[in-house]
Amino acid sequence: MTKYEKLIAKAASKNINVIETSFESSAKGFCIGNTIAIRNNLSEAEKTCIFAEELGHYITTTGNILDQNNQNNRKQEKIARKWAINFLISINDLINAYKNGCFCLADTAEYLNVTEEFIFEAIAEFKSKYGVVYTNDNYIITFNDLGYCVSEK
């Protein structure tokens, strides 16, 4: 099951309608009530990232937060983005990408079927959450301003 299909299933479990359509505006997606709309001419990776964030808005935010000059709205935007990152990408996904020959952000993004911008934001989130170095039983992940590095212990 692709990440996009997992999002569809998550939305269905919450009785959310999902439509892919063209927009007159430059928006790539939006959430109004129990409907999420995604621009239909995006790549699958872009659709996945936009859909995850819009689902994050449905789950975590309240009201109209379009005015990003409002500090509370910016906070809600970040909360929805953080939800999307945590839904789509785990620390183990980075390890699996490394095991499958991904040594740069572009390869990792392609392997995980997300955009490079999204994987870069995920790296920043993991760095914030785990610090500069994350270790488990077999791997060490070092986060830096340009991305991350995985090495075996």
Q: Where are the domains of the chain?
A: 3-87, 91-152
Residue 71 pLDDT grade (very low, low, confident, very high; cuts 50, 70, 90):
confident
Specify the long-range contacts of residues 38-44, CB closer than 8 Å, at least 24 apart. Answer: 44/2, 44/4, 44/113
Q: What is the pLDDT of residue 67?
A: 66
Residue 48 has pLDDT above 80, yes or no: yes
Average pLDDT, the chain: 92
Q: What is the pLDDT of residue 141?
A: 96
Q: What is the pLDDT of residue 97?
A: 96
Tell me which range, 20-29, 67-76, 89-98, is most confidently predicted by mean pLDDT.
89-98
3-state secondary structure labels for all residues of the chain: CCHHHHHHHHHHHCCCEEEEECCCCCCCEEEECCEEEEECCCCHHHHHHHHHHHHHHHHHCCCCCCCCCCHHHHHHHHHHHHHHHHHHCCHHHHHHHHHCCCCCHHHHHHHHCCCHHHHHHHHHHHHHHHCCEEECCCEEEEEECCEEEEEEC
Sign of CA dihedral 129, 131, 133, 135: negative
What CATH number was assigned to the domain covering residues 3-87? 1.10.10.2910
- Region 70-98 average pLDDT: 91
Residue 65 has pLDDT above 80, yes or no: no
The percentage of residues in the chain with a pLDDT greater than 90, rounded to a whole number, is 76
How does pLDDT run across 102-152, given as a tens digit for each residue?
989 999 999 999 999 999 999 999 999 999 999 998 999 999 888 999 999
Cβ neighbours of 72 (radius 10 Å): 12
